[in-house]
A and B are shown apart, each in its own frame.
Chain A
């Protein structure tokens, strides 16, 4: 029987894994976490000395898109994290056990690792009518969250639903859905929003805990700054076209064919913080803007109620174009200004929300 106190480095050394392999692994981790590559050597030392981190994953009012996203993670693979670095003790979709055996596994892990396990939650929590709209083994999501959160060292709210309420929270919110941080107030919570969240961001947060022994630095919305420090607009490769005042006006005009900025087609990049523009999707193949579609702002609170997807953020647009022209000289200041204008517009749109119709796509 393997020694449970053996470090990861010792376990892998028995299999002939060298420290060069650790360095390669951590170089990849540093890259996906947007950490300085020079930190890879230090991370490799700490990872080699780490023991398996217990993780309990609760899925509430969700579509399983978040699990799909992370289960298809390319780099590093979730499998490698699960089997080499974490102990995933409970996950409805991935675990072999079901029914009473599954719940027994959760309770056993909670007892054995009380105060040490990481709790991952995806999905919102319905509060209306006593939480009857989503239950697991006869236990309401609310009760299960309260019970499991007690012994957690930290909670990762994975996806926009867990972080902000997401789609279940959208107007008229028939189930009274709320976020994890609306309920749990006495534990460190890391929000990893996105619909779904980028898999490499999820694995990156877990790997950050494993390699650096601490939670990543968070912003005012409890998001890891390393991944959510910049807006999509800040890091978009089409940003120079915005600064030059070159915009696609429709999805099939010359501007669209030339790959110009999608701001006037409703891109929410200026008010959306996420890492899509650099980490990208599908193993780094592309991201929505690179595929010619505006950012929907799916990682922001209330994104579903924040106005029509295909209407430009600022109003009137002429003001922004004037500002954009000035930005050739003013540099990045424009991003801040447009972001502020956009956020005001977004709040206004949320207050005056109208359903999206097919006309919006024309």
Chain B
């Protein structure tokens, strides 16, 4: 899939060129993911994007088939873009302010996976529940 020449890119091109560079980075990370399963990140908050460029990027990436929400220290939204393997991970604090805005290039974002410690705790809780039902 050629991100740089997507027909979905109807937004006027950036005058500064950050969008082109970002799409090239996404394409490189997708190549790595396809080749060896290695995931990658782009921290959009750390980039000196010009006003309007972030919106332009998200217009290009769009929304795909999967959306997940998390309620932990405030709401989070995980959105698969129209390009499978490219996820937008948007974290907010309890006040609604954005605390992290990432693109994660992965089969499934890390934040959606259950941590092994939580899985172990979960098993104990289920066993307790099971014992209580006997």
Q: How far is the CB of A211 from chain B (nearest CB, A)?
A: 15
Identify which of A18, A25, A36 contacts B41 (C-beta below 8 A).
A36
Contact A27 B118 (CB under 8 A): no
Chain B residues within 8 Å of A17, by CB = 72
Contact A24 B115 (CB under 8 A): no
Contact A76 B48 (CB under 8 A): no
Chain B residues within 8 Å of A185, by CB = none
Verify if B73 is at the interface (C-beta below 8 Å from A).
Answer: yes
CA distance in complex: A82, B131 (Å): 40
From known contacts A20-B72, A24-B91, A24-B111, infer whether A284 and B118 are also in contact, taking CB-CB under 8 Å: no
Chain B residues within 8 Å of A24, by CB = 70, 72-73, 76, 91, 100, 111
Interface of B is mostly: mixed
CA distance in complex: A333, B39 (Å): 33
From known contacts A31-B100, A37-B43, infer whether A20 and B70 are also in contact, taking CB-CB under 8 Å: yes
Verify if B67 is at the interface (C-beta below 8 Å from A).
Answer: no
Verify if A237 is at the interface (C-beta below 8 Å from B).
Answer: yes
Chain A residues within 8 Å of B72, by CB = 17-18, 20-21, 24
A-B contact count (CB 8 A): 99
Contact B111 A278 (CB under 8 A): no
Q: How many residues of B contact A (CB 8 A)?
A: 37
Q: How far is the CB of A162 from chain B (nearest CB, A)?
A: 26
Verify if B117 is at the interface (C-beta below 8 Å from A).
Answer: yes
Verify if B69 is at the interface (C-beta below 8 Å from A).
Answer: no
Interface of A is mostly: helix
CA distance in complex: A27, B102 (Å): 9
Contact B118 A278 (CB under 8 A): no
Verify if A103 is at the interface (C-beta below 8 Å from B).
Answer: no
From known contacts A21-B72, A278-B48, infer whether A284 and B97 are also in contact, taking CB-CB under 8 Å: yes
Q: How far is the CB of A269 from chain B (nearest CB, A)?
A: 12
Identify which of B97, B100, B111 contacts A20 (C-beta below 8 A).
B111
Q: How far is the CB of A96 from chain B (nearest CB, A)?
A: 24
CA distance in complex: A36, B100 (Å): 12
Chain A residues within 8 Å of B89, by CB = 27
Contact B115 A38 (CB under 8 A): no
Identify which of B50, B95, B100 contacts A237 (C-beta below 8 A).
B50
Verify if A64 is at the interface (C-beta below 8 Å from B).
Answer: no
Verify if A70 is at the interface (C-beta below 8 Å from B).
Answer: no
Give 14 A-B pairs besides A28-B91, A237-B16 with Cβ atoms closer than 8 angstroms: A13-B121, A18-B115, A24-B70, A27-B102, A28-B93, A31-B43, A31-B102, A32-B99, A40-B110, A75-B97, A235-B48, A238-B50, A283-B97, A284-B45
B contact set with A: CB distance below 8 Å? 15-17, 39-41, 43, 45-51, 53, 70, 72-73, 76, 89, 91, 93, 95, 97-102, 104, 110-111, 114-115, 117-118, 121
Give 17 pairs: A residue, B residue, CB < 8 Å, sorted on A.
A19-B117, A20-B70, A21-B73, A24-B73, A27-B89, A31-B102, A32-B45, A34-B46, A37-B43, A41-B110, A75-B97, A75-B98, A76-B99, A77-B95, A235-B48, A237-B49, A240-B16
